[in-house]
Structure formats: structure tokens, C-alpha cells
Structure 1
Amino acid sequence: MEGKKKIIVVGSCNTDMVIRVDHLPLPGETIIGHDFITNQGGKGANQAVAVCRLGGDTAFIARLGNDGFGAKSLQLLTEEGIDTSHVSLTDGVSTGVALIPVEDSGENSIIVASGANAMLSPDDIDKAEPLFEDAAILLMQLETPIPTLIRAAQIAKEHGATVVLNPAPYPKDGVPDELLQLVDIITPNETEATGMSGVKVDSEEAAVKAIREIKKRGIEKVIITAGAAGAYTELKGCLVNIPTHKTKVVDTTAAGDTFCGALCVALSRGEELTSAISFANKAASLSVTRLGAWMSIPYEREIIH
């Protein structure tokens, strides 16, 4: 990784349709909402935008539908300064869409129709291999097919890049070992860490147990994000809690993605893990004060580092 700075993001890109509500609807319930916005999103795109806005050199590998949503997303990604040379417009399938009701408390639910995201293939990764020659970090999530992520991780390893996985959304069958064995750093939240470890993460004691269980699957560094409680990791056999900044929560939609992007930017600059996590916490805590996905992601100049 020495001398390399580029961060490659492989993942999803969606158009988010966000509506504010007093409370999330129960099954069969119709409620009246408030503000409505259409925003760009998808965990992959969110993370690519976060990397770029926070000062990283970013390339994004993704598929969009050859439709109005896809054309707009590609335009906006390019305007952000992201290398979109391997973002493809695909005929015969829609761009991914997410429906997101957001409570006044800031909590949300998300329903995703994957569309073109589900067509991102190992062949797409092979075509993008030249990008990996200058890559320091590969950042991935789980909104695109697992075989594609495995291929990306394999190529990243061949070129000496660090592989970072955000295991979200967490699959009901878990994350296959074939992928985890290629991962250097993983960033589950408390729910995802519980699924991966079998340990309910509801305390610091549980967090360290979960981290150690996840490490048994071959992952060197585990970072559990815990919302207002900050983030947990293990260094030299001891649990470390890196606190976050208390802010008024408006919308948590892109907080985890902002954290991941910021973490990778700091690591690509050679920062130590705890310093990188602290920077990521600052970025994520700022993102929750704003509505939307891309709209909420801060710029480097906004963060006191």
C-alpha cells in the first residue's frame, strides 16, 4: 500500500426517495408524511462520495440502469470528482431504487429494489483491473453480488491493496468465509456484529467478545460502530472505545457509509487505526444532522481533524 493513495469503491448506486413521517407505519397502516425529497444513494455510491468529499482519490465500479435515474446518477457522480470510467449504464433493467421513510427522531427504514446493482459481475471487475494498480484500499458493501465482491477482493490482494468490508445489509445466511478470508478490516454495526459473532452486542464486554469471535474468521481488524456510543475495536488484546461527538440527530441514512468512507481516507494517508476511527466518527456525527444520503455527507473542510 506504500506510496499508493487511490481508494476503489465497488458497490451499489440507488435513487433514494425519502419522506419524513411522525412514526414508521405499521403493517397495513397508511400515514400522512411531511417533506419529500429525491436523493442519490446506495451504499456504494454513498461511500464513494464520502471518500471524495473527505479528500480521497476515488474510483467507483458499479452498474446503473440506462434510464433517467441512471443518467442523473452518473452525471452527479462525475461532478463530485469520482472516477466513473467503470460505472456502466445497462439496458433492460432499472437503476436501483430505495424507499426511505424517516421518523422525526431521525430513525429510518429502507426498502431497496436492486435493479442494475444485481447485475454487477466479476467480468466488470476484471475489466476494471487497471484501476487496482494504484489502489491503496478497496472498500465494499453487500448490496451487490457476492461473487463480484470476491473477485474484487482477489484482484485487490494481488495488487497489494487493503480490503475493507462494510457487511451491510447483512445477509440472512451470513457472509461466506470465501469472502471474509480476503478481508483485512471489517466495519459491522452492533446488529451485524451480533449476526457475525453469535454474541449480542449490548455492552462493552459483549463488544470485545464479538470482536474476538469475528477475528477467528480470519479478519485482522474489526471495528464495531455503535451509534452514539462511538466505535469499538481491539488493540493489543484490549478493547478500545473511540467516542463520537454528541449531535442532534435528524437522519441516520448515510451515517455508516460516511464513517466507512472517512475511515478509508484517513487510513490511505497512513494514520493509525484509532486516529482514523476518530476522524470517521467526526464525519459520521456531522452527517446525521442533515436529511438525506449524499446531501448529508460532509466535506473535509467542515471537519476539525
Structure 2
Amino acid sequence: MLKYVPLTLTGRHAMPNPKPLILSFGSINIDVTARAARLPRPGETVHGESYAVMLGGKGSNQAAAAGRLAEGSGIQVALAGRIGQDSFGAQARRELERFGVDLSPLREDAANPTGVALIGIDGSGENCITVVGGANMAVDETDVEAAAQWLERTSVLLLQLEVPQKAVLAAARKARAAGAIVVLDPAPAPEQGLLDELWQEIDILTPNESETFQLTGIRPESADDAAKAANLLLAKGVKAVLVKMGSRGVFWHDGTQSGLCAPFSVQPVDTVAAGDCFNAGLAFALAQGQPLSKAVRIASACGALATTRHGAADAAPDWKTVETLMAAQPER
């Protein structure tokens, strides 16, 4: 049986600083988003209705969403990663600063451009995305060393897989050794799976339905399916698993306790940033010292609210809006 490690900011996860820090280590993109009644089929061109050029990338989306939630809370939010020395990089800086994100750990890369995501969204809110990683794909252990002071005082570390896994592993090791809670969004799920050493450095894994299938071979179409998948992932060494099942809610398992968080009822218009806002909400709750069960509910509310707005980072809700939704739809 796996040893239970309580996922609150006590014991090994005690915060060494009076001001909690959420650090996102990962990708920074600019999203070029086109909207059309439907997505094109292979080889087809469709006429779009509008387009926008906005902040994106899972690392920056999670940082921006956490920054908006944390405004006025006393919780600090920072971002580590790479941007290019180009106009998209300058835009990313401006946008992230608008969300209150500290960019001191962020590095500029003279040899590679800022990452770009080309996004198509249809009339029902479904999307398809092509990512050109640029500077994100050059992130390595030197970025971890450059952000060492931040990683060593982080309360919650947010990780994703839009930068090389070796850098993700190095960041997880450094932060976790200093007492941080390490949260990994396994997106995009790699075909070859996670590095063997990475499993042991993850406190909370947050796969969606497709990522769960990629990592376990199980499609989580019910709570029972999600429980089976979670057990497989726990056996690999992670301390807790949150299986995001969309309209079926979120199944969570921490090795000792488990539960199903019912979905919030909202009218979705755009699903692009739902997962990133979910993880930001999770980090914000954990940085406050909330137990995992309550943190999952807060995260679910954040993810649901993100689907009611267009855009990626701009879809992130503030804390007052999250509180209002949770009060209007009490836990069942």
C-alpha cells in the first residue's frame, strides 16, 4: 500500500515563507484564434467569422488564471519559462503583467521565437489546436537553475508538458525537495508516456479524459472507470489523481480517500482554457491550505466558469465569481 501524504500545506509541505507562492513552470505562447461555424475537414478551407491574437500556452494560462484568482489574497504568482526576443514575446510580457504575474524567473531566448498556437473554434465551442513550440522547446535544466530561488520557496508548483520532460522533471525535483506541492497537468499526453523518474515527483496528476486514456488505456466514462484508471496511476508513484471527466465531473483519489465532484451547470461557449483554469484554481486552493476535496470543488468551479468566456487566459474567472457560482450551486 502506498504511504499516504496529506496534500495540505502542513508537514513536508509547510511553507517556509509567510507569503505563499504559486509558480508555473512551463510554456508561453501567443494564440492566434479563428472562429467559424464549423472546423474545416482535411484539405478544406472554411470562411471564418473573427480572429484574435491573445496570450496562450499552458504555463502562461495557468499563471494568468492563478494571478487573477490571487488578486488581493496575499498569494504571489510567478512564471518561469522562455519567450523569444520578438513582438510576440513582448506581447506575452504585457499580458502576463496585466494579470499580476511576477515575471522575474522568465528568460528571453535570442535563438528561438516565442511559441505560437493556431486555434480553430466552431460554433459549439469545440476546438482544434496546432502548437509551434519555439522557445518553449528549448527549455532545459539551465532554466531550472535560473529559477532556483523561486522553485525553492514555492508553495505549489504547476507543471505541464509543453516543454521538454527533462526540464519538467528537474523543476519538480527541486521544488518538491524544498517542500512544494507539485501538480502536473499531463497535457499534451506524450505517446511514449511519462519519464519513469517523473512519476515519483508528482503530488497531484490532473489528466482529462483523453489523457487518462493515453496514460492508462482506460476511457473514464464513469466514476468506476475513473477509479480503475486512478489506481493504475497511483501505483506508478503519484500521490493523488484527479480525473477530469467534463460533464460527468471530477473523480479524485489520494491513495486513501476518493470522491466524485459533481459538475457545475454552466452554458459553455469556448473550452480552450478550461483545464488550465482548473489547475490554477486547484493551486490557489492548495496555497490557501484547503484540503484536497475542497480544492477539487474550487478547481471545478474555475474550469466551468472558463468555458463561459472566449479566449484562453482572458477566460479565467476572479475569486468573487467563483464564490458566487459555488454558493448558487451547493455541493450535492
Which position in structure 1 is the counterpart of 2:127?
108
Residue type at the aligned position of 2:199: L
1:299 to 302, 309, 318: 318
- Superposition deviation, residue 124 in structure 1: 1.1
Which position in structure 1 is the counterpart of 2:291?
272
Which position in structure 2 is the counterpart of 1:195?
214
Number of equivalences: 305
- Superposition deviation, residue 221 in structure 1: 0.4
CA contact (8 A) 1:60 1:86 kept: yes
In the aligned structure 2, how far is the partner of 1:284 from the partner of 1:157? 26
| Partner deviation per Cα, 1:196-246 (whole Å, 9 max, x = no partner) | 122222222111100001111001100001112221012575641101211
In structure 2, relative to structure 1, the CA distance for the partners of 1:19 and 1:213 (3 Å cut) is same
TM-score normalised by structure 2 residue count: 0.89
In the aligned structure 2, how far is the partner of 1:285 from the partner of 1:118? 30
Query: Within the alignment, does 1:164 sit opposite 2:221 as a pair?
Result: no
- Superposition deviation, residue 187 in structure 1: 0.2
Which position in structure 2 is the counterpart of 1:33?
48
In structure 2, relative to structure 1, the CA distance for the partners of 1:128 and 1:176 (3 Å cut) is same
- Superposition deviation, residue 81 in structure 1: 1.5
In the aligned structure 2, how far is the partner of 1:134 from the partner of 1:92? 30
Which position in structure 1 is the counterpart of 2:145?
126
**Alignment map for 1:1-305 (pairs within 5 Å):** 1-3=13-15, 4=17, 5-55=20-70, 56-234=75-253, 239-304=258-323
In the aligned structure 1, how far is the partner of 2:166 from the partner of 2:302? 31
| Partner deviation per Cα, 1:85-117 (whole Å, 9 max, x = no partner) | 121121132110001100111110010000010
Residue type at the aligned position of 1:51: A
In the aligned structure 1, how far is the partner of 2:99 from the partner of 2:223? 38
The 10-residue stretch of structure 1 (104-113 or 189-198) with the greater mean CA deviation from structure 2: 189-198
In the aligned structure 1, how far is the partner of 2:151 from the partner of 2:136? 21
Gaps (5+ residues) in structure 1? none
In the aligned structure 2, how far is the partner of 1:93 from the partner of 1:153? 24
Which position in structure 1 is the counterpart of 2:330?
none
CA contact (8 A) 2:115 2:134 kept: yes
Gaps (5+ residues) in structure 2? 1-12, 327-332
CA contact (8 A) 1:11 1:45 kept: yes
- Superposition deviation, residue 289 in structure 1: 0.7
- 2:103 aligns to what SS in structure 1? strand
TM-score normalised by structure 1 residue count: 0.96
Q: Runs ≥4 in structure 1, deviation > 6 angstroms? A: none
Residue type at the aligned position of 1:91: A
